[in-house]
Amino acid sequence: MTSAALELQRAVFASLQGNAELDAAMGEVRLYDQAPANAKFPYLTFGRTSVYDWSTDTESGAEHLVTLHVWSKARGKSECHALIEMVRAALDDAALALDGHALIRLRAEYSEVRYEDDNDVHHGLIRFRALTEPAT
- Per the structure, the complete domain to which residue 47 belongs is given by 4-134
- Full-model pTM: 0.94
- pLDDT for 97 equals 96
For residue 111, pLDDT beyond 90: yes
- pLDDT for 1 equals 59
C-alpha dihedral, 70 to 16 to 105 to 97, nearest 10°: -150
For residue 99, pLDDT beyond 80: yes
What is the total count of domains within the chain? 1
Q: What is the pLDDT of residues 50-98, one digit of tens each?
A: 999 998 899 899 999 999 999 999 999 999 999 999 999 999 999 999 9
- pLDDT for 2 equals 81
- pLDDT for 132 equals 97
Any idea what the CATH number is for the domain that residue 125 is in?
3.30.2000.30
- pLDDT for 6 equals 96
DSSP element (H, E) containing 86: helix 78-91
**What average pLDDT score do residues 114-121 get?**
94
**By CB neighbour count within 10 A (0-12 exposed, 13-18 middle, 19+ buried), where does 120 fall?**
exposed
- pLDDT for 14 equals 97
